[in-house]
Amino acid sequence: MNDLVLHLKIIGILMILLSLVHIGFPSRFKWKEEFAPLTLLSRQIMYVHTFFVALVVILNGVLCFLLADELLERTSVNKALAWGMLIFWALRCLFQFFVYSPKLWRGKKFETLMHILFSGVWIYFTFVCVWLVKALSE
């Protein structure tokens, strides 16, 4: 199996798992209490946006896992998909370091561990997407 195909399958599995983690967000982050002061519209936007982010992530995961070989075919659609995934994950990676405040994790054991773990995940996703874009450009 081609190394890139293997890594596409790995990130596919990780994306599927990541999307499923979203199911626990409301209880883990106590959204019922946290969002109580918000308007109904703002509360519903948070739930709806979380659902659709998870949906996009799971669909990308399924695509990478089930169609990794096909993603390496040099077509304009695959190039567009690869660039879209690269932009998505590269921006997510940048947000990890430049949007989220270190106050959220610094000095907290579990939160620091999660910050490091997910920083590694976003870097890995970005690296594989760069590799994919490069492979489709050769």
The three-state secondary structure class of 99 is: coil
Residues 66 and 106 in one domain: no
Distance CA(64)–CA(62), nearest Å, equals 6
Query: Both 45 and 80 in a single domain?
Result: no
41 shares a domain with 2: yes
Q: Is the pTM for the entire model greater than 0.85? A: yes
Domains of the chain: total: 2
Final residue of a domain: which of 45, 71, 97?
71
For residues 77 and 52, membership in a common domain is answered with no
Q: Are residues 112 and 137 in the same domain?
A: yes
Domain that holds residue 117: 73-138
What is the rounded distance in angstroms from the CA atom of residue 6 to the CA atom of residue 126?
Answer: 15
Is residue 63 domain-shared with residue 129, that is, in the same domain?
Answer: no
Which letter does DSSP use for residue 106 in this model? Answer: T
CB 58, CB 94: distance < 8 Å: no
Is the same domain home to 63 and 78? no
Instruction: List the pLDDT tens digit at each of the 138 positions of the chain.
Output: 699 999 999 999 999 999 999 999 999 999 999 999 999 999 999 999 999 999 999 999 999 999 999 999 999 999 999 999 999 999 999 999 999 999 999 999 999 999 999 999 999 999 999 999 999 998
- Phi, psi torsion values for 35, nearest 5 degrees: -90, -5
Assess whether 65 and 9 both reside in one domain. yes
Pair 53, 77 in one domain: no
Cβ density class 89-107: b for 16+ within 10 Å, e for less: bbebbeebeeeeeeeebee
Residue 96 and residue 57 in one domain: no
